[in-house]
Each structure stands twice: as C-alpha cells, then as structure tokens.
Amino acid sequence: MVLDEASPLKPSYFAPYRGIFADPTPDTLGESYNGQDDETEYSLTRPVDRAYVMNISLSSYMTFCETFTDGVRTAWISRCVGDTSFRGLFKYEQPEFGCFRITYLDGPSYPHVMAVIYNNLVATDDTVLSGELLPILRIMLAQLMKRQFVHQMVSPVLIISLMGLKARVIEAFFKDQRLVVRPTKMYDFTHGNDAAFKVFVQWYMGQPIGDTVLI
C-alpha cells in the first residue's frame, strides 16, 4: 500500500485530508523529535520504549492539527482505549503490544476505525506482527457486533503501527470472505522523520470512503 492519493495502491476505505494543516515543528510536536539522536546513556531502548517516545510527538502533532486546522473535516472521535468498548488491545507479556489511541465515527453509517498501536518487536517489510494483526481483528469484531452496524458487511481498519524507531500504516478489511492486510513500506525514524509524521496525520485526519454494506 502507498500513502499517495494518486496511486492505484492507495488505501481502499480511507482518503487523506485535503486541506492545509501545520507542518511538524518543535511547537506542533511538543518538542523536536530526532529519534536515536535524542537518546542518552540513560534512555530506555526497547522497541516499546522508543515507540512510547515517538508517540508523544505524534500525539502532540495530531492534537495540534485537530485543534487548529481550519476547513471542513470528518467528525472523528479519538479516545483512549479504556474510554471505549474495545477490548483485548493490550498484551503485557512478551511479545508486548498495545494501543495508544483509537478513533471512530458516531452513528451507523461508517464502521471505519483508526488506531495508533505499538509493539515491543520490530517487523520487516515482509512480515506482519501478531501484535498488529490481533488488535486489527479484535477491532473489526467489536464493530460488527454492535447493533448499529447490523447492516454493515465490512469494518475497515487503518492503524499506524509504531515499533522502536520504525513505523508503518496498515489497512485491513475483509473481501470475499478473506482478510486483506495492506501494509505500507517501513518508515525510518532513526534520526526523526517530519515528512512521515505529516503523511501519517494527513491520512489520520482524512475521511472514510468505500462501500461497506455490499461486498
């Protein structure tokens, strides 16, 4: 999958935000994020610890853009997982994974869900972690079990997956009774990556698309 609206490999059920929004700066990120260059001899360097630090900047940037961006935007609702009905999105024994943020829409029209997750393992471009796949499946199941989505046949999920100094986006949905999992390339944050932060937020602030009623 490619995070480019002009590409035939773009996401199938999510479109990017098309308006103007702020660039990543020390102000919009909370402070500059430079990956490994910010670490000291006292820094925790497990993949989950580095993902936590990366999410501080990503979350700050998302919140800034959601608060101060002008123009018409989809009314996404972002919550901590504990404030929602979604369950089973954390595992504390190794391989550890969890969910920093989950985002959805009110009402019966759109079963789409987005989330920012983390893992204590680092995947490759050729692998999908169980800590990516399990949250995706549990989110889908939770959506399709809701009464308001009784007429929906597809529950698309878009995740930003943070692992150490790497990150990627995965879109997942069922088609023809098969699970489709579409990861992007791995984005490298070893020395920071403001361009990737902006791409992630552009898609996270976008809109739901696609026919989820008929397959």
In tens, the pLDDT along 163-175 reads 999 999 999 999 9
pLDDT digits (tens, 9 = 90+) for 128-149: 999 999 999 999 999 999 999 9
Domain presence at residue 97: yes
**Does 19 reside within a domain?**
no
State the residue range of the domain holding 108: 33-208
145 assigned to some structural domain = yes
- Cα–Cα distance measured from residue 171 to residue 121, given in angstroms and rounded to the nearest whole number: 19
Query: How are beta strands 157-163 and 178-183 bridged, if at all?
Result: unpaired
> Would you state the pLDDT for residue 63?
96
**Pairwise CA distance, residues 29 & 34, whole Å:** 11
At 70 the pLDDT is: 83
For range 92-113, the mean pLDDT:
96
Question: How many independent structural domains does the chain possess?
Answer: 1
Residue 1 lies in a domain: no
Q: Which residues share a beta bridge with 166?
A: 163, 188
Residue 16 forms part of a structural domain: no
Residue 13 is assigned to a structural domain of this protein: no
Mean pLDDT of the chain: 96
pTM for the full predicted model: 0.96
Least confident of 51-60, 65-74, 90-99, 179-188: 65-74
Q: Is residue 162 part of a domain?
A: yes
Mean pLDDT of 37-61: 96
Q: Residue 215: what pLDDT?
A: 54
Does residue 214 surpass a pLDDT of 80?
no
Question: Would 2 be classed as within a structural domain?
Answer: no
